[in-house]
Amino acid sequence: MTAVTEEEKLALRFYLGDPQTAADGPYRGGPQAYNTINALLHPGFANEQDKAREGRTVHLEDAQQLDSYLRLCTFIFSAMNKFRHQHAGEAPTGWRVDRLSSLQRFLQDGRRIAGFFSCSSRGWMPSYAHVKKQAVLLEAVPDAAAPYVDIAALLKDFYAKPEEAEILFPAGTAIAAVQELPLTAQEKALYTDMDGQPPVGRYRLQLTAGEYPAVPDAELAEIHGRILSAQPQASAVMDAVMNGRMPDRRQAAFYEEWKADIRRYIGGVYHKILKQEI
């Protein structure tokens, strides 16, 4: 297994919001671009609605930016796959504060985590509860098969947020089991959401590798072209949702199909990485 490349490390740094990557790298969107990248990987537009309610930004400028984000997803998964092999049996437990609505969608979507899944190896961080509605406390316990990357261990001095000690899991990670746990009085007081309300639940998630079906090369190329050519129309729907306007039935169906193309394309590329075809 080859080492994680500088290109893959740069993709991770940009996704994690390192401001130093904005001037030199191939990506645009600023330190909060991960909101857009993750929204692209979620079905429909519910994730965008959640982020709009929390005052976050989700926006695509053009097809070039979109294409760079697709490459970024590929580089990050490649880094995770390499890291998992190089650190077999070392995956730590991760701690994440999320929205109840996100957890519900994960469980409804075949127990599959749609986007990248960032956790801290140092416990839950109150600051992340304070910017979300209906917070839930998640404990992520990966098995040996789950791809991941320990950001501090990989990036070392180039990690812009060492205090967060992030563990990052890929889009498509599977949830093998869910266990609801009781909340303590201290947890209810410390991890209040953006409305000052205590968390609504605490859950332990057993994580394992997701399934990424093979997609023939010719079809991958066709899907890639279709995703990019539809970007202007998709961005119009995305911007409308972020501004509180519901798409009509035709727009919603188009947007869902465009998102499905993105997930199929990313999954097909991930399959090739796992089979070491690229």
The DSSP annotation for 1-13 comes to -PPPPHHHHHHHH
Amino acid letter, 225: G
**Phi, psi dihedrals of residue 112, rounded to the nearest 5°:** -130, 130
Q: Is the dihedral of CA 126, 141, 165, 25 positive or negative?
A: negative
The rounded distance, in Å, linking the Cα atoms of 45 and 237 is 9
- What is the token pair recorded at 9? 């490390």
pLDDT tens-digit readout, 158-196: 887 888 899 999 999 999 999 999 999 999 999 999 999
Name the strand (E) or helix (H) holding 119: strand 117-120
- pLDDT, residue 21, reads 75
- pLDDT, residue 22, reads 64
pLDDT tens-digit readout, 31-50: 889 999 999 999 999 999 99
**Phi, psi dihedrals of residue 150, rounded to the nearest 5°:** -90, 105
Say how many residues make up the chain: 278
Counting runs of H as helices and runs of E as strands, what totals does the chain give? 12, 7
Name the nearest CA neighbour of 36 among 9, 23, 17, 8: 17
Q: Is the dihedral of CA 121, 124, 130, 135 positive or negative?
A: positive
pLDDT tens-digit readout, 117-147: 999 999 998 888 788 889 999 999 999 889 9
Name the nearest CA neighbour of 124 among 160, 164, 182, 174: 164
Residues 260 and 43 sit within 8 Å (Cβ to Cβ)? yes
pLDDT tens-digit readout, 236-276: 999 999 999 999 999 999 999 999 999 999 999 999 999 88
**pLDDT grade, residue 24 (50/70/90)?**
low
Residues 196 and 22 sit within 8 Å (Cβ to Cβ)? no
Mean pLDDT for 63-85 is 95
- What is the token pair recorded at 276? 């070491």
CA atoms in the 13 A half-sphere facing the CB of 190: 11
The rounded distance, in Å, linking the Cα atoms of 234 and 244 is 16
Neighbours of 68 (CB within 10 A): 18
**Phi, psi dihedrals of residue 204, rounded to the nearest 5°:** -105, 125
